[in-house]
Amino acid sequence: MSNLIVIGTQWGDEGKGKIVDLLSSKADTIVRFQGGHNAGHTLVVGDQVFKLSLLPSGVIREDKIAVIGNGVVLDPWKLLEEIEQLNSRGIKICSDRFLISENTPLILPFHKDLDLLREQKAGKEKIGTTGRGIGPAYEDKVGRRALRTGDLKDPNQVKRKLNIIKDHHDILRAGLGATDIDEEQLFDELMMVGKKINTFIKPVWKILNEQIKKNKNILFEGAQGSMLDIDFGTYPFVTSSSTIAAAAAIGSGVAHNKINTVLGITKAYTTRVGEGPMPTELTDSIGRYLSEEGNEKGTVTGRDRRCGWFDAPLVRRSCLLNGVTSLALTKIDVLDKLEKIKICVGYRIEKEEYTDFPVSTSLSNKLSPIYEEIDGWNTSTVGLEKIDQMPIKARAYIQRIEELSETKVSIISTGPERNQTILINDPFQL
């Protein structure tokens, strides 16, 4: 048995989709365990480009089982849209290879309303959410009133819960100038959607544990990144789920000691979407170069990503928080044309030095990076498949990232295609 968690070590958008898709070939089952359709994965297979935000990346391999765990918040209409999109491209999603946990909370239209209305009202204080209703859906989960996938099979339960939800949400909506929830219409819509997805809804925790007994390989696919974690991220500029590796156990029902390895995905520079501190952000021509060369636009919202140099203390912290056993370094080729490359090795506020992000946002907003500078390699690394083809200076950069993050690199991605990858070690093995 070999089970692997893949997580992002930065602020998301590290290129997890491609790596998960690649490693899916070695897995029997791929599980999403947190987040919702705020995530975005772009997968390139030959001349086909797939953009998914809810279905696990492994779903495009038809011999694999794809699973949405209980830690996810699920918008059933978005799910149907993605299933239909894949069906229309010849990829059949059927209930013997796609499962949804029966205790997965639903994202409903009023969650999205609340998300957008609050962001509008917050003005300059906004989080910069994806506007998908993620935060409000997790609030209802923790508030013990969420409608969960399993409820869809029981109309009376749906009615009862909608009553409770309406009581709670109509007050919030009134405060934000929105009309009351139309309970009856929502009930009818949920019954319709239920008919289409009920067949996928199963006791996922049990099925996964049975698979483990049969020595199957499970790949847990994280969404977002560790710096967006609700506890350890740059709070309040974070998402509303636990994005670190520990969430794989809680969000799927597989005990933590059944999972052996954690692959941390790390972009060769740093990006962030939305508001919040980012010490290495570059607003100059190099920032624009990284943005253009790296095509740094959000998969879900199309927003421009903020770009900056590699932040080593941040990745080192993520490696510890996640128990990362090895790193997958992505988008190294984006740096190919730079004369000089900087790596952040610490931070400073006036004369005081920091080795880590302080917990307070007002302090972390003031961090200025301490940089080390190295020579660029000025050679294309696009599509390289072997480490000894990598220019010496690029190898020195990778080695420095390993030293500073105190973690070895097992995979280097040199382009969006599956074969544009250097495999140094098998990340499924410790």
Which residues have a catalytic role annotated?
13, 41
> Distance (Å, rounded) from C-alpha 226 to C-alpha 242?
8
Length of the chain: 430
Per CB under 6 A, the list member of 4, 7, 13, 220 interacting with ligand IMP is 13
Alpha-carbon span 211 to 354, nearest angstrom: 45
Question: How many residues of this chain interact with ligand IMP, rule: CB under 6 A?
Answer: 21
Contacts with ligand IMP, 154-193, as mask; x by CB under 6 A: ----------------------------------------
Position of minimal CB gap to ligand IMP: 274
Give the DSSP H or E segment for 68: strand 65-68
Piece of the chain touching ligand IMP by CB under 6 A; list 91-99, 124-132, 165-173, 402-410: 124-132
What is the enclosing helix (H) or strand (E) of 67? strand 65-68
Identify which of residues 3 and 130 has a Cβ nearer to ligand IMP in the complex.
Answer: 130
Asked whether position 239 contacts ligand IMP by CB under 6 A, the answer is yes
Is residue 198 within 8 A of residue 85, CB to CB? The reply is no
How many Cα neighbours within 13 Å face the side chain of 140? Answer: 29
Residue 340, exposed/middle/buried by CB under 10 A (0-12, 13-18, 19+)? Answer: exposed
**Residue 224 and residue 234 in contact, taking contact as beta carbons nearer than 8 Å:** no
Q: How far is the CB of 132 from ligand IMP (least distance, A)?
A: 5
Cα–Cα distances (Å) from 291 to 51, 65, 425, in that order, read 19, 35, 30
- CB of 305: closest distance to ligand IMP in angstroms? 8
If the CB atoms of residues 2 and 10 are measured against ligand IMP, the closer one turns out to be 10
Residue 56 touches ligand IMP, criterion: CB under 6 A? no
Q: Residue 337 Cβ, how far from ligand IMP at the closest point, in Å?
A: 25
Between residues 161 and 305, which has the closer beta carbon with respect to ligand IMP?
Answer: 305
Q: Which amino acid, residue 198?
A: N
Q: Give the interface segment with ligand IMP, choosing from 11-19, 166-174, 203-211, 371-379 (CB under 6 A).
A: 11-19
Which region among 34-42, 338-346, 350-358, 387-395 touches ligand IMP (by CB under 6 A)?
Answer: 34-42
20 is a contact residue toward ligand IMP (CB under 6 A): no
341 touches ligand IMP by CB under 6 A: no
How far lies 342's CA from each of 116, 270, 312, in Å?
Answer: 37, 11, 11
Collapsing DSSP to helix, strand or coil, 208 comes out as helix
**d(Cα 101, Cα 84) in Å, to the nearest integer?**
20
Minimum CB–partner distance for residue 348 and ligand IMP (Å): 25
**Chosen residue from 15, 40, 194, 287 binding ligand IMP by CB under 6 A:** 40
Figure out which of the listed residues 228, 259, 367, 398 binds ligand IMP, where binding follows CB under 6 A: 228
Detail the DSSP E strand segments found in 275-385. Answer: 306-308, 310-311, 326-330, 340-349, 352-354, 368-375
CA distance 109 to 253: 28
Distant-in-sequence, close-in-space partners of 255: CB < 8 Å, separation ≥ 6: 249
Shortest separation between residue 225's beta carbon and ligand IMP, angstroms: 7
Q: Is 130 in the site for ligand IMP (CB under 6 A)?
A: yes
Nearest-approach distance from CB 138 to ligand IMP, in angstroms? 9
What gap in Å lies between CA 193 and CA 200, rounded to an integer?
12
Query: Is residue 240 close enough to count as binding ligand IMP by CB under 6 A?
Result: yes
Task: Return the range that interacts with ligand IMP (CB under 6 A); candidates 10-18, 72-80, 208-216, 326-334.
Answer: 10-18
Using the rule CB under 6 A, which residue among 56, 76, 135, 253 binds ligand IMP?
135
Residues lying near ligand IMP in the complex (CB under 6 A) are found at 11-13, 38-40, 127-130, 132, 134-135, 223-224, 228, 237, 239-240, 273-274
